Amino acid sequence: MNEAFIDDLADEQEAARAQQEADERDRRRRRRRIRSAITLLISLVLVAALAYAAFVTIRPLLEGGEEDAVEDYAGPGSGEVLVEIPDGSTGQDIGAVLAEANVVASVQAFTRAFGADPEAAGIQPGTYALREEMSGEGAVDALLDPASRAELSITIPEGFRAAQVYERVAAEAEIPLEEVQAAAQDREAIGLPEQAGGNPEGWYAPATYDFAPSADATTMLHTMVDQTVSRLTERDVPPADWQAVLTKASIVEREVNIEEDFGRVARVIENRLQEGSETAGFLNMDSTVLYGVGRSSGIPTTAETEDADNPYNTYEHPGLPPTPIGAPGVTAIDAVLNPPEGDWQYFVTVNLETGETKFAATYAEHQENVQELREWVDANPDWNSDDGR
């Protein structure tokens, strides 16, 4: 082995070692870069997490600052404006109505006050008289105050005839009577069922109604008819029986003043209408005769009870009269639907002042009761009913 060969071998070994050292340095650099990238990624994740936590922590404070900046009027307001709160309105809905009417400065001003008042959920739908430029809190308080309600309240008493309903609506709503009567002529517009035969008598349900001040006569009459339909429907009365039930109930309503007697009068009606009854199917009711001659109280004369031209004269015409003779209340309707058992064929009010009424199963017993009425009338010649019906 010569010296040149030895030198070459040494050089190759030295080169190999240098290459190994270079490769090792590259591997160490790659490992450092990977560790640096992982460290950076972890750092970024930690920073993002810390930033999100900080945002969640300070968000309520930031939002609170925005609420504090919500536009709101400071004073109690001035003037007057009518606003209507629709049924089913949320706090946001109410705020939008009030902001539109300039009652509050902004929807947020109202909703903030609405959310802060635990009673605000009790705000009822309807029409309210409020001031313009009220604070959100003041608006909530006003809507909770019954004195702020601006509805038109109309009471229809039991027994009222249609003509009396029109007069009451005209007077309370300050609408010309002719306008109310004209509205009633549009049977479809007021929702009159076909079972009424085109005559709304008896279909204006007695009740106290609250209407928006802007409501027209058609709306009011329609609401009253709807109430009657609802009452009959709730009691599962077949539509085919609606008119008959109202007619019977209207007679019950007019014949006696004491509700405890309603059921027995209803039973008398049923007994008289039965085939083979002592009255041969004639109701013989003074109230129907009086309705036919345009009176609402008193005792019909002999001539009036013998007038066959009066279609409501149940002394001359068997069965029910053509229509109800007034607006029956729920007590009278219930009495007709569930009359007590009894064999009564007759009844008479023996004291027109107290309303005391006596019932009889036989004509002879009834005549004794009639005599008691005659004696009372003789003893009270100046008495007149003032019940307004």
Q: In this prediction, what percent of the chain has a pLDDT beyond 90?
A: 64
**Mean pLDDT for all residues in the chain:** 86
Residue 226 shares a structural domain with residue 244: no
Angle between helices 136-144 and 91-100 (to 10 degrees): 110
Residue 216 shares a structural domain with residue 110: no
More confident residue, 9 or 219: 219
More confident residue, 47 or 227: 227
Distances (CA, A) of 328 to 63, 177, 235, 253, 321: 59, 23, 15, 6, 15
Would you state the pLDDT for residue 348? 92
Would you state the pLDDT for residue 38? 66
Neighbours of 101 (CB within 10 A): 14
Would you state the pLDDT for residue 198? 96
Residue 254 shares a structural domain with residue 375: yes
Residue 254 shares a structural domain with residue 316: yes
Q: Judge whether 247 lies within some domain.
A: yes
Residue 61 to residue 148: CA distance in whole angstroms = 36
Would you state the pLDDT for residue 207? 96
User: End of a domain among 148, 169, 194?
Assistant: 148
- Reported as a single tens digit per residue, the pLDDT across 177-198 is 999 999 999 999 999 999 999 9
Would you state the pLDDT for residue 60? 46
What lies within 8 Å, CB to CB, of 371 at 6+ separation is: none
Q: In this prediction, what percent of the chain has a pLDDT beyond 70?
A: 81
pLDDT at 41 exceeding the cut of 90:
no
Nearest CA-CA partner of 141 in 125, 124, 117 = 117
Q: Judge whether 351 lies within some domain.
A: yes
Q: What distance lies between CA 232 and its chain's CA centroid?
A: 17
Q: Judge whether 20 lies within some domain.
A: no
Q: 192 pairs with which residues across the strands?
A: none
Considering the entire predicted model, what is its pTM? 0.71
pLDDT at 201 exceeding the cut of 50:
yes
pLDDT at 69 exceeding the cut of 90:
no
Residue 121 to residue 72: CA distance in whole angstroms = 21
Q: Span 209-234, mean pLDDT?
A: 95
User: End of a domain among 234, 268, 290?
Assistant: 234
More confident residue, 16 or 243: 243
Q: Judge whether 66 lies within some domain.
A: no
Residue 161 to residue 287: CA distance in whole angstroms = 12
Would you state the pLDDT for residue 387? 40
Q: What beta strand segments (E) does the chain contain?
A: 78-85, 126-132, 152-156, 207-211, 346-351, 356-360
pLDDT at 1 exceeding the cut of 70:
no
**Token couple for 68:** 């504090």
- Reported as a single tens digit per residue, the pLDDT across 326-375 is 999 999 999 999 999 999 999 998 998 888 999 999 999 999 999 999 99
Residue 222 shares a structural domain with residue 203: yes
Residue 144 shares a structural domain with residue 156: no
Q: Judge whether 279 lies within some domain.
A: yes
pLDDT at 55 exceeding the cut of 70:
no
Residue 178 shares a structural domain with residue 218: yes
More confident residue, 253 or 59: 253
- Are 312 and 325 in contact by the 8 Å Cβ rule? The answer is yes
Would you state the pLDDT for residue 11? 58
- Reported as a single tens digit per residue, the pLDDT across 256-279 is 989 999 999 999 999 999 988 889
Query: CA geometry: angle at 307 spanning 306 and 308, to 5°?
Result: 105
Residue 283 shares a structural domain with residue 373: yes
Q: What distance lies between CA 349 and its chain's CA centroid?
A: 38
Q: Which residue has the tokens 């009711």?
A: 285
Residue 220 shares a structural domain with residue 110: no
Would you state the pLDDT for residue 144? 93
CATH code of the domain in which 127 resides: 3.30.1490.480
Residue 244 shares a structural domain with residue 371: yes
Residue 299 to residue 383: CA distance in whole angstroms = 12
For residue 112, the number of C-alpha atoms closer than 13 Å in the C-beta half-sphere is: 19
Among the ranges given (117-126, 232-241, 264-273, 315-324), the one the predictor scored with the smallest mean pLDDT: 117-126
**Domain of residue 222, residue span:** 152-234
| The dihedral sign for the CA sequence 188, 189, 193, 196 | negative
More confident residue, 300 or 387: 300
- Are 180 and 200 in contact by the 8 Å Cβ rule? The answer is no
Phi, psi dihedral angles at 286 (to 5 degrees): -60, -35
| The dihedral sign for the CA sequence 365, 366, 372, 378 | negative
Q: Judge whether 32 lies within some domain.
A: no
Residue 283 shares a structural domain with residue 374: yes
Q: Judge whether 208 lies within some domain.
A: yes
Which of helix, strand or coil describes residue 194?
helix
Residue 165 shares a structural domain with residue 245: no
Q: 129 pairs with which residues across the strands?
A: 82
Q: Judge whether 385 lies within some domain.
A: no
Q: Number of structural domains, the chain?
A: 3
Would you state the pLDDT for residue 65? 44
Q: Span 146-171, mean pLDDT?
A: 93
The amino acid at residue 146 is P
User: End of a domain among 189, 212, 234?
Assistant: 234
Residue 258 to residue 269: CA distance in whole angstroms = 17
